[in-house]
Amino acid sequence: MKKEFFSSSYKIRWKDVGITFGILFVATILSFLYDRMTGQIINVIMFYTLALLLVSRMTEGYLPGILAGMISVVCVNYLFTYPYWQLNFFLDGYPITFACMIVVSTLTSAGTSQLKRQAEVLAEREKLLADAEKEKMRANLLRAVSHDLRTPLTGIIGASSSYLENEDRLTEEEKRELVCHIGEDANWLLNMVENLLTVTRIRNGSANVNKSMEPVEEVMSEAVFRLKKRIPDANIRVLLPEEFVMIPMDATLIEQVLMNLMENAIYHAGSREVVECRAEIGKDAVTFCVTDQGGGIAPDKLETIFDGVGQTENVSADGHKGMGIGLSICKTIILAHGGKIQAENLEKGARICFTLPKQSGGN
C-alpha cells in the first residue's frame, strides 16, 4: 500500500496538468487586475498561495502542487516584481519567498494526497464491512428459510399420511381437523413464498428500491385489508395520523412489512387481545408501530430478533411456526428504504417500530 501511494504521488496525469495551468491562469488574471488597481504585491502573492491550495486539493499526488509552486514563483518574479518582464531571482528577500512557496506547495500536496488516500482506504473498509454484513444476513436468511420450509412441509406430510393411512377409522371431525392443519401449513408456506418474492424486488441485494410518493393512510389500510383476507378473525386496531402525508416508499414492500409485524403479533404474542397498528408523523420521518398485549419478547432475543438467528429453532407453544424469515425480511426492506427498525418490551406486551424518512435518500 505504501509503495502504491508513493508511485501515485509522483505520477503526472494530463488531467492534473490541465487543472494546474487553468487555476494558475485564473490566479494570474486576478493578480493583474488587483495589481493594476492597488499595486500591493504582497496580496498578489496571496492569490498564488490560494491557487496552490486549490491545485493541491483538486489534483492527485505531489508533482502538480510542486510544479504550481515553481510556476507561481516565476510568475510573481517576472510579472509583478520590478524590473517587470524580467527574471531576477537575486532580489532582496526573494529567495526566502521562493523557498516558502515551494515548502507550502510541497506540504499542502503531501497533506491532501495523504488525506485522499486515507479516504479511499476508509471507503474500501466500509465496502468490505457492508459486504460482510450482507453475507451475514444472507446466511441468516438461508438458515431461517431452510427451517421454515421443513416445519410446514413436515406438518403437511404428517397430516396427509395420517389421513390416507387411517381414513376408514377417522371420524368426520378428525378428518376435517387434519385438512385444516394442511390448509394452515399451506397458507404459511404461501406467506413465506410471498416474503421471498418480496426480497427479490430489492435489486441484487444492493439496498435499492423503486420508491414513489405514497399516502401513509392508504398503505396501512391496504396492509390491514390483505391481512384480514388471510386471518379473517384478526383483531386489529388502526390509528391513522390526523394529517394527510405522503412519503417516498415502495408501497408493496412496506405493506409486506406491516403484514409480517401484525401477523407476528397475532401468532406469537400469547394473547388474543387487540393488536394496535399506529403511524406517527415526525419532523423528518414517519414512525410505524405495531403493538401487542402479550407476553413480550425474551430479553436475550431483542438484539437479534431481526437477524433470523435463533427465531426458528422451535415451534411456538400454540402450535404455530417460529417467526422465521418474516422479521429478517422486515429489517432488509426498512434498511433498503433508509429507515430503522427496533423492538422493545412494554409493561404488557411488546412493540416493534420502524421509521421511514420523509425525503428520499436517493435510492
Distance CA 103, CA 62 (A): 12
pLDDT above 50 for 315? no
In a domain, 156, yes or no: no
Give the three cell numbers for residue 313.
429453532
Name the more confident of 98 and 213: 213
Query: How much is the pLDDT for 258?
Result: 92
Q: 232 and 108: one domain?
A: no
Q: What is the mean pLDDT of the chain?
A: 77
Query: How much is the pLDDT for 239?
Result: 92
Q: 235 and 325: one domain?
A: yes
pLDDT above 60 for 203? no
Q: 207 and 327: one domain?
A: yes
pLDDT bin (cut points 50, 70, 90) of residue 214 is very high
Cell 433508509, located at residue:
338
Per the structure, the count of domains in the chain is 2
In a domain, 167, yes or no: no
H helical segments located in the chain: 2-9, 14-38, 41-58, 63-79, 94-165, 172-200, 216-230, 251-268, 326-336
Name the more confident of 257 and 8: 257
Q: 121 and 241: one domain?
A: no
In a domain, 307, yes or no: yes
Name the more confident of 317 and 294: 294
Of 127, 157, 186, the residue at which a domain comes to its end is 127
Query: How much is the pLDDT for 3?
Result: 45
Q: 205 and 339: one domain?
A: yes
In a domain, 99, yes or no: yes
SS3 assignment, position 288: strand
Name the more confident of 185 and 281: 281
Query: How much is the pLDDT for 82?
Result: 66
Q: 93 and 230: one domain?
A: no
Residue whose C-alpha is closest to residue 230's, from 254, 201, 256: 256
Query: How much is the pLDDT for 54?
Result: 80
Name the more confident of 24 and 35: 24
Read off the pLDDT of each residue in 209-232 and give the average, rounded to a whole number. 87
Name the more confident of 320 and 86: 86
Tell me the CATH number at 283.
Answer: 3.30.565.10
Q: Which of 113-117, 134-138, 335-339 has the lowest mean pLDDT?
A: 134-138
pLDDT above 50 for 261? yes
Using a pLDDT cut of 90, give the percent of the chain over it: 15
Give the three cell numbers for residue 71.
510556476
Of 127, 147, 165, the residue at which a domain comes to its end is 127
Strand order in the sheet with 350-357: 236-239, 275-281, 285-291, 350-357, 340-345
In a domain, 132, yes or no: no
Q: 310 and 213: one domain?
A: yes
Output the CA angle 15-17-23, nearest 5 degrees. Answer: 100
Q: 114 and 208: one domain?
A: no
pLDDT bin (cut points 50, 70, 90) of residue 88 is low
SS3 assignment, position 240: coil
Q: pLDDT digit string (tens) for 152-171?
A: 788 888 889 888 888 888 88
Q: 232 and 330: one domain?
A: yes
Peptide bond before residue 152 is cis, with ω within 30 degrees of 0: no
Q: Whole domain around residue 304: which residue ranges?
A: 201-357
Q: 23 and 107: one domain?
A: yes
In a domain, 162, yes or no: no
Distance from the Cα of residue 149 to its chain's centroid: 29
Cell 408501497, located at residue:
251
Q: 334 and 226: one domain?
A: yes
Query: How much is the pLDDT for 215?
Result: 93
In a domain, 23, yes or no: yes
Torsion of CA 256, 262, 265, 268, to 10 degrees: -50
Read off the pLDDT of each residue in 282-300 and give the average, rounded to a whole number. 89
Read off the pLDDT of each residue in 97-117 and give the average, rounded to a whole number. 71
Q: Which of 38-42, 79-83, 200-204, 344-348 has the lowest mean pLDDT?
A: 200-204
Using a pLDDT cut of 70, give the percent of the chain over it: 72
